[in-house]
Amino acid sequence: MSAFPPPLAEQPQPPFDEPQLLQLGAPEDEPCLRADAARNRARLLEAAARLVAEHGAAGVTMEAVAVAANVGKGTVFRRFGDRTGLLTALLDHSERKFQAAFLSGPPPLGPGAPPVERLRAVGYALLRRSVDELDLQLAAEPSPERRFSVPARRLLRGHLALLLRQAVPDADSELLSHTLMGYLSPVLIHHLTRQCGLPLERLEAGWDDLVDRVTG
């Protein structure tokens, strides 16, 4: 196991119930990366993206990516830790945009709107984003043990908890935020839209309703 660079948001795991200040990760990619490392990283991401476009996210093997990038297999793992890390890196751009939007973008997603409206907005935004990148998000799904340690998800959950705390101060926001996260999880969205054929509108209505009930 290795000390490969932190991908998305913050790294250390604050104790569960802590207020947990929200902050993005480094503004750019890896802080300082050796020239060859940076070059290979770029090559790998490009190769991976191409393979995803060609064969779908599911059919992308680590070895194939390595070969396509003219790089050793070990290098892939050194850089991205594991398969999930590589796929996650592919989603990094979109993820950062999303984070910026709900952390400091214009209302109702960003600060300025009342918390309940922000809750609605963040659900909509996530649903929209997910239906686009569903394949990749699904393939990037981390193993059950790490699912809740993924920085991006910790950040989002913290955000939901914050909004909930503002909207319903007398509730257990931590637990409720987990409930809301469940509704927005890529696997569920995939199941409902792709496997069950529900239209996006119904999921959005469901989110509205859920937010109403939870904050009501």
Interaction site with DNA (CB under 7 A): 1, 33-37, 39-40, 60-63, 70-75, 77-79, 82-84
Q: How far is the CB of 153 from DNA (least distance, A)?
A: 18
1 is a site residue for a copy of itself (CB under 8 A): no
- Cα separation values, 120 from 71, 134, 159, 164, 201, Å: 44, 20, 13, 11, 13
Q: How far is the CB of 72 from a copy of itself (least distance, A)?
A: 28
- Other C-beta atoms lying within 10 Å of the C-beta of residue 19: 10
Give the DSSP per-residue string, 59-103: G--HHHHHHHTT--HHHHHHHHSSHHHHHHHHTHHHHHHHHHHHH
31 is a site residue for a copy of itself (CB under 8 A): no
Q: Is the dihedral of CA 153, 92, 73, 13 positive or negative?
A: negative
By beta-carbon proximity to a copy of itself, the closer residue of 36 and 143 is 143
By beta-carbon proximity to a copy of itself, the closer residue of 68 and 134 is 134
Q: Which stretch binds a copy of itself (CB under 8 A): 37-45, 83-91, 92-100, 193-201?
A: 193-201
Give the DSSP per-residue string, 97-109: HHHHHHHHSSTTT
200 is a site residue for a copy of itself (CB under 8 A): no
Q: Round to whole Å and give the CA distance between 53 and 27.
A: 27
Q: Round to whole Å and give the CA distance between 215 and 212.
A: 5
The one among 178, 199, 200, 201 contacting a copy of itself by CB under 8 A? 178
The one among 2, 70, 179, 199 contacting a copy of itself by CB under 8 A? 179
Q: Is the dihedral of CA 182, 144, 11, 129 positive or negative?
A: negative
19 is a site residue for a copy of itself (CB under 8 A): no
Q: Which stretch binds a copy of itself (CB under 8 A): 74-82, 92-100, 118-126, 140-148?
A: 140-148
Q: Select the binding partner of residue 179 from a copy of itself, DNA, none (C-beta < 5 to 8 A, by kind).
A: a copy of itself
Decide: 134 and 194 in contact? Cβ < 8 Å.
yes
Q: How far is the CB of 93 from a copy of itself (least distance, A)?
A: 23
By beta-carbon proximity to DNA, the closer residue of 34 and 213 is 34
Q: Round to whole Å and give the CA distance between 99 and 117.
A: 17
